[in-house]
Protein backbone atom coordinates (compact mmCIF):
# COMPACT_ATOMS: atom_id res chain seq x y z
CA UNK A 1 0.00 0.00 0.00
CA UNK A 2 1.29 3.45 -0.82
CA UNK A 3 2.31 5.49 2.16
CA UNK A 4 0.12 8.61 2.46
CA UNK A 5 1.88 11.87 3.18
CA UNK A 6 0.12 14.49 5.30
CA UNK A 7 -1.66 17.04 3.09
CA UNK A 8 0.45 19.86 4.48
CA UNK A 9 3.72 18.16 3.58
CA UNK A 10 5.86 20.17 1.21
CA UNK A 11 6.64 18.27 -1.97
CA UNK A 12 10.37 18.97 -1.99
CA UNK A 13 10.75 17.82 1.62
CA UNK A 14 8.78 14.64 0.94
CA UNK A 15 11.01 13.96 -2.05
CA UNK A 16 14.15 14.42 0.05
CA UNK A 17 12.79 12.10 2.76
CA UNK A 18 12.08 9.47 0.11
CA UNK A 19 15.61 9.79 -1.27
CA UNK A 20 17.21 9.40 2.17
CA UNK A 21 14.93 6.44 2.82
CA UNK A 22 16.48 4.61 -0.17
CA UNK A 23 19.92 4.62 1.50
CA UNK A 24 21.11 1.52 3.36
CA UNK A 25 20.31 1.57 7.07
CA UNK A 26 18.12 4.70 6.81
CA UNK A 27 14.55 4.07 7.95
CA UNK A 28 11.73 6.54 7.48
CA UNK A 29 12.23 8.14 10.93
CA UNK A 30 15.94 8.76 10.32
CA UNK A 31 15.16 10.01 6.81
CA UNK A 32 12.74 12.55 8.29
CA UNK A 33 15.28 13.61 10.92
CA UNK A 34 17.97 14.13 8.27
CA UNK A 35 15.62 16.11 6.03
CA UNK A 36 14.56 18.43 8.86
CA UNK A 37 18.16 18.82 9.92
CA UNK A 38 18.93 20.01 6.37
CA UNK A 39 16.03 22.49 6.45
CA UNK A 40 17.62 24.17 9.46
CA UNK A 41 21.13 24.00 8.04
CA UNK A 42 22.75 27.18 6.60
CA UNK A 43 22.35 27.28 2.79
CA UNK A 44 26.10 27.14 2.17
CA UNK A 45 26.40 23.89 4.17
CA UNK A 46 23.55 22.16 2.36
CA UNK A 47 24.91 23.37 -1.02
CA UNK A 48 28.33 22.04 -0.10
CA UNK A 49 26.78 18.63 0.72
CA UNK A 50 24.81 18.55 -2.55
CA UNK A 51 27.92 19.57 -4.52
CA UNK A 52 30.04 16.92 -2.82
CA UNK A 53 27.59 14.24 -4.00
CA UNK A 54 27.49 15.58 -7.57
CA UNK A 55 31.27 16.00 -7.70
CA UNK A 56 31.82 12.48 -6.37
CA UNK A 57 29.44 10.98 -8.96
CA UNK A 58 31.09 12.92 -11.78
CA UNK A 59 34.68 12.17 -10.85
CA UNK A 60 34.52 8.60 -9.65
CA UNK A 61 35.44 5.76 -11.94
CA UNK A 62 36.42 2.12 -11.77
CA UNK A 63 40.08 1.14 -11.86
CA UNK A 64 40.54 -0.90 -15.02
CA UNK A 65 42.98 -3.20 -13.21
CA UNK A 66 41.58 -3.90 -9.74
CA UNK A 67 37.96 -2.76 -10.29
CA UNK A 68 38.10 -0.62 -7.16
CA UNK A 69 36.49 2.83 -7.18
CA UNK A 70 38.99 5.58 -7.85
CA UNK A 71 39.41 9.19 -8.98
CA UNK A 72 41.69 8.08 -11.79
CA UNK A 73 42.57 4.77 -13.42
CA UNK A 74 44.81 2.85 -12.79
CA UNK A 75 44.27 3.67 -9.12
CA UNK A 76 47.05 4.76 -6.79
CA UNK A 77 47.47 1.21 -5.46
CA UNK A 78 47.79 -0.48 -8.88
CA UNK A 79 49.99 2.38 -10.03
CA UNK A 80 52.33 2.33 -7.03
CA UNK A 81 55.69 0.76 -8.01
CA UNK A 82 56.52 -0.01 -4.38
CA UNK A 83 53.53 -2.38 -4.01
CA UNK A 84 54.20 -6.10 -4.38
CA UNK A 85 52.69 -6.89 -7.78
CA UNK A 86 53.08 -10.66 -7.30
CA UNK A 87 50.22 -10.88 -4.80
CA UNK A 88 46.56 -10.13 -5.41
CA UNK A 89 44.11 -9.99 -2.54
CA UNK A 90 40.55 -10.69 -3.74
CA UNK A 91 37.84 -8.86 -1.78
CA UNK A 92 34.10 -8.38 -2.17
CA UNK A 93 33.74 -4.60 -1.88
CA UNK A 94 35.77 -1.37 -2.10
CA UNK A 95 35.21 -0.93 1.67
CA UNK A 96 37.17 -4.15 2.24
CA UNK A 97 40.18 -2.58 0.49
CA UNK A 98 39.93 0.38 2.88
CA UNK A 99 39.68 -1.99 5.86
CA UNK A 100 42.81 -3.94 4.83
CA UNK A 101 44.71 -0.76 3.93
CA UNK A 102 43.98 0.58 7.43
CA UNK A 103 46.01 -2.29 8.92
CA UNK A 104 49.11 -0.95 7.13
CA UNK A 105 50.43 -4.51 6.94
CA UNK A 106 49.53 -5.57 3.40
CA UNK A 107 51.57 -4.31 0.46
CA UNK A 108 50.25 -6.34 -2.45
CA UNK A 109 47.53 -5.51 -4.98
CA UNK A 110 43.78 -6.07 -4.84
CA UNK A 111 40.91 -7.25 -6.97
CA UNK A 112 37.39 -6.09 -6.09
CA UNK A 113 34.65 -8.56 -7.02
CA UNK A 114 31.81 -6.08 -6.50
CA UNK A 115 29.82 -8.56 -4.44
CA UNK A 116 29.73 -12.26 -3.78
CA UNK A 117 28.00 -15.28 -5.26
CA UNK A 118 24.51 -15.31 -3.77
CA UNK A 119 21.92 -17.49 -5.51
CA UNK A 120 19.17 -16.21 -3.19
CA UNK A 121 19.80 -12.68 -4.46
CA UNK A 122 20.20 -13.84 -8.06
CA UNK A 123 23.94 -13.06 -8.12
CA UNK A 124 26.02 -15.61 -10.00
CA UNK A 125 29.71 -15.56 -10.99
CA UNK A 126 28.92 -13.60 -14.16
CA UNK A 127 27.57 -10.67 -12.14
CA UNK A 128 30.96 -10.31 -10.42
CA UNK A 129 34.30 -9.18 -11.88
CA UNK A 130 35.67 -12.74 -12.03
CA UNK A 131 36.18 -12.71 -15.82
CA UNK A 132 38.18 -9.49 -15.48
CA UNK A 133 40.32 -11.13 -12.78
CA UNK A 134 41.09 -14.07 -15.05
CA UNK A 135 41.93 -11.69 -17.88
CA UNK A 136 44.19 -9.73 -15.55
CA UNK A 137 46.01 -12.93 -14.56
CA UNK A 138 46.40 -13.89 -18.21
CA UNK A 139 47.82 -10.49 -19.15
CA UNK A 140 50.24 -10.43 -16.22
CA UNK A 141 51.53 -13.90 -17.08
CA UNK A 142 52.53 -12.54 -20.48
CA UNK A 143 54.67 -9.81 -18.95
CA UNK A 144 58.33 -10.59 -18.24
CA UNK A 145 58.23 -9.57 -14.58
CA UNK A 146 54.52 -9.57 -13.94
CA UNK A 147 53.78 -13.11 -12.92
CA UNK A 148 51.35 -13.38 -10.03
CA UNK A 149 52.60 -15.76 -7.35
CA UNK A 150 49.84 -15.69 -4.76
CA UNK A 151 46.12 -15.00 -4.77
CA UNK A 152 44.67 -14.31 -1.34
CA UNK A 153 40.95 -14.99 -1.03
CA UNK A 154 39.69 -12.43 1.46
CA UNK A 155 35.95 -12.72 0.93
CA UNK A 156 33.78 -12.52 4.05
CA UNK A 157 33.52 -15.55 6.33
CA UNK A 158 29.76 -15.90 5.92
CA UNK A 159 27.98 -18.46 3.74
CA UNK A 160 28.15 -16.43 0.51
CA UNK A 161 31.75 -15.38 1.12
CA UNK A 162 32.83 -18.98 1.68
CA UNK A 163 30.96 -20.15 -1.43
CA UNK A 164 32.61 -17.40 -3.50
CA UNK A 165 36.03 -18.30 -2.13
CA UNK A 166 35.49 -21.98 -2.95
CA UNK A 167 34.34 -21.12 -6.47
CA UNK A 168 37.45 -18.99 -7.08
CA UNK A 169 39.73 -21.66 -5.65
CA UNK A 170 38.31 -24.29 -8.01
CA UNK A 171 38.63 -21.88 -10.92
CA UNK A 172 42.18 -20.68 -10.33
CA UNK A 173 43.99 -23.58 -8.67
CA UNK A 174 44.22 -25.57 -11.92
CA UNK A 175 45.95 -22.53 -13.44
CA UNK A 176 48.90 -23.15 -11.11
CA UNK A 177 48.56 -20.20 -8.73
CA UNK A 178 49.22 -20.43 -5.01
CA UNK A 179 45.80 -19.79 -3.53
CA UNK A 180 45.48 -18.79 0.12
CA UNK A 181 42.49 -18.05 2.31
CA UNK A 182 42.56 -15.52 5.14
CA UNK A 183 42.53 -17.14 8.59
CA UNK A 184 39.39 -17.47 10.61
CA UNK A 185 40.45 -14.83 13.10
CA UNK A 186 37.27 -13.18 11.91
CA UNK A 187 34.22 -14.55 13.70
CA UNK A 188 32.07 -16.72 11.43
CA UNK A 189 29.57 -14.58 9.59
CA UNK A 190 31.61 -11.44 10.16
CA UNK A 191 32.11 -8.93 7.43
CA UNK A 192 35.61 -7.67 6.80
CA UNK A 193 34.66 -4.01 6.59
CA UNK A 194 33.42 -3.99 10.21
CA UNK A 195 36.41 -5.83 11.72
CA UNK A 196 39.10 -3.92 13.59
CA UNK A 197 42.63 -3.51 12.21
CA UNK A 198 44.27 -6.06 14.55
CA UNK A 199 41.74 -8.76 13.67
CA UNK A 200 42.19 -8.15 9.94
CA UNK A 201 45.99 -8.02 10.21
CA UNK A 202 45.94 -11.34 12.12
CA UNK A 203 43.56 -12.91 9.59
CA UNK A 204 45.87 -11.85 6.74
CA UNK A 205 49.00 -13.00 8.56
CA UNK A 206 47.46 -16.37 9.42
CA UNK A 207 46.28 -17.10 5.89
CA UNK A 208 46.69 -20.70 4.81
CA UNK A 209 47.28 -22.39 1.48
CA UNK A 210 44.24 -24.09 -0.04
ZN1 LIG B 1 43.47 -0.40 -9.12
Q: How confident is the model at residue 29 (pLDDT cuts 50, 70, 90)?
A: very high
Q: How confident is the model at residue 24 (pLDDT cuts 50, 70, 90)?
A: confident
Q: Is 190 a residue whose pLDDT tops 80?
A: no
- Segment among 111-120, 160-169, 179-188 with least mean pLDDT: 179-188
Ligand 1 center from residue 200 Cα (angstroms): 21
pLDDT, one tens digit per residue, over 164-184 is 999 999 999 998 899 999 987
For the chain, the distance separating the N- and C-terminal CA atoms, rounded to the nearest angstrom, is: 50
pLDDT the model gives residue 64: 95
Ligand 1 center from residue 40 Cα (angstroms): 40
Ligand 1 center from residue 51 Cα (angstroms): 26
Comparison of pLDDT for 186 and 198, the residue scoring more: 198
Ligand 1 center from residue 19 Cα (angstroms): 31
Q: Is 28 a residue whose pLDDT tops 90?
A: yes
Q: Is 5 a residue whose pLDDT tops 70?
A: no
Please give the average per-residue pLDDT across 10-37, as a whole number.
Answer: 94
pTM (2 decimals)? 0.78
If you average pLDDT over every residue of the chain, what do you get? 90
Q: Is 15 a residue whose pLDDT tops 80?
A: yes
Chain-centroid distance, C-alpha 195 = 14
- pLDDT over 90, % of the chain: 69
Please give the average per-residue pLDDT across 127-134, as a whole number.
Answer: 96
Ligand 1 center from residue 106 Cα (angstroms): 15
Cβ neighbours, 10 Å, residue 144: 5
pLDDT the model gives residue 4: 58
What is the Cα–Cα distance from 15 to 196, expressed in whole angstroms?
37
Q: What is the largest CA-CA distance in the chain?
A: 69
The contacts of residue 135 (CB under 8 Å, 6+ apart) are: none
Please give the average per-residue pLDDT across 59-84, as a whole number.
Answer: 94
pLDDT the model gives residue 3: 58
Q: Is 9 a residue whose pLDDT tops 80?
A: no
Ion ligand 1: residues, CB < 5 A: 63, 65-66, 75, 78
Ligand 1 center from residue 173 Cα (angstroms): 23
Amino acid sequence: MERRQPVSAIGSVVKLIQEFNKLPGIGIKTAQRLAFHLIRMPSEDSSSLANAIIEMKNSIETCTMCQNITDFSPCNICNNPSRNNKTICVVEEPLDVLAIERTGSYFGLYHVLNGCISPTNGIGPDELTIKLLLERLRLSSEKANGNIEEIILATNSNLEGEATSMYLQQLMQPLGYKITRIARGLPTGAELEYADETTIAKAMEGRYTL
